[in-house]
Amino acid sequence: MKKAELLKTDHWIQSKWLDNQVRNITHSSKDSFLNPDVAERAYKTLNKAIFIDDSDLEHYMSVHLSEKGRQRLITTLRVGKKRVNSKNLQV
């Protein structure tokens, strides 16, 4: 699956990933955003809605994520897809 297609799927995973990145914005995830301060304010505005629309989330990701952040998100989505499609052995 291409990167552009992958970013239009699994919005609940993207939302959870974004929550974790913003929560750790002062520590390790600062380089995931182009401008961390602006991204944090925009995230707070985005979360004021009861339900975040998929198109709003896609727009946020396209505007505020740096190239490194976008690559991290794509890696997370690919790992998530592989885990869903794999069989787990429970002992």
The pLDDT of residue 91 is 58
Pick from 24, 10, 18, 4: nearest CA to 64:
18
The pLDDT of residue 90 is 61
Q: For the chain, which residues make up each domain, given as ranges?
A: 36-82
What's the CA gap between 90 and 65, in Å, rounded? 37
Tokens of residue 56, six digits: 């709003």
pLDDT in tens, 51-83: 899 999 999 999 999 999 999 999 999 998 888
